Structure 1
């Protein structure tokens, strides 16, 4: 007598639970459509605008972070190096080249979920356009690894996958229609520990 209602309740619980889980998983899997890929770097220029797709709006609402508007700046992320290998906290990298024009930019390391990877006190966990040493032609070279190095260096010593986040503030790049022509810094893997 109670078998049929119990089966109906079980079916509804599985359907609603599975639907909620799959929707939450898909929203965390992407920032929406309309990404611009420049080498290893990708950005979503419409993420904070009214032109954002429904998935990007839902992702933005669930994320709880304040994003830069298109006129304020642009955030580029890299999850792979130039050869297509996933970035790992057990590897050493060199980020070299130049950034598109911007009044100010920062480069930091984040974990797979987007949270900043913290370094111990007195070790740098980010660099910016004011503190980065440059060559005479305006290019730079930043080493990212666990061992301290002279020049531009960011400490990276974790066992998980990481993401490089390049935030450009007050840049004409954000309003540019031809972003595919921009030169972005190259990410080269130098070597990995335990490999």
Structure 2
């Protein structure tokens, strides 16, 4: 009797270990990025297959977790940054300066999301900048700060969260961006200070 219970216990332990390993592997795969077909330009990562029938299962699962809807690349291309231009993870307790020029697209925006993929609540009720409201620099480009505290129109609040991400959406992008997203001229994200 005891020998039979030990045998069942071993089987049960093997099943539980297999399920745990499978779930962990699936979580790591989906949260590990866009997989094949992804391209990187500075700190910005994208996949030209997002929103298309060519998207693989990993890309579809990643998009489903991070967002509700993805358009085809001809309609919109999505660049996500979880690190700064030096390669360090974005930290909501630090201050960053985002600088650049307008991406070649009919419309574009940069939105800040928390680690939970939702907008970050903040007293300024500011969640993004777009091509019409972004603070402009003297050269026609733009510059704004991403930080836990600030004031004025040049500030995108992080809420002080440990981790956050920026998403740049380019609607009706130039065909060159679709064809070679790794060569797109995208904003720099530079750490200014850290608390």
Q: CA deviation at 1:160?
A: 0.9
Report what 2:43 is aligned to: 40
Q: Distance in 2 between matches of 1:64 and 1:109?
A: 13
Q: Structure 1 segments of 4 or more deviating over 6 A?
A: none
Q: What is the CA RMSD across the aligned residues, in angstroms?
A: 2.3
* Cα deviation 1:138-187 (Å, max 9, x = unaligned): 30111122333444221223141111111122222576323333211111
What CA distance in whole angstroms lies between the structure 2 residues aligned with 1:136 and 1:49?
39
Unaligned runs of 5+ in 2: none
Aligned to 2:172: 170
SS of match in other structure, 1:170: strand
Matched, 1:84 2:87: yes
The residue aligned with 1:71 is 74
The answer to whether residue 184 in structure 2 is matched with residue 190 in structure 1 is: no
Between the aligned partners of 1:16 and 1:154, the Cα distance in structure 2 is 42
Of 139, 146, 149, 2:148 maps to: 146
Contact 2:84/2:90 (8 A) holds in 1: yes
Please report the TM-score for the alignment, with normalisation by the length of structure 2.
Answer: 0.85
Displacement of 1:17 after TM fit?
A: 3.4
Give 1:1-195 correspondences, 5 Å limit.
1=1, 2-3=4-5, 4-60=7-63, 65-120=68-123, 122-135=124-137, 137-173=139-175, 176-193=178-195
Gaps of 5+ in 1: none
Say whether the 8 Å CA contact 2:120–2:159 is kept in structure 1: no
TM-score (ref. length: structure 1): 0.85
Q: Provide the aligned length of Structure 1 versus Structure 2.
A: 192
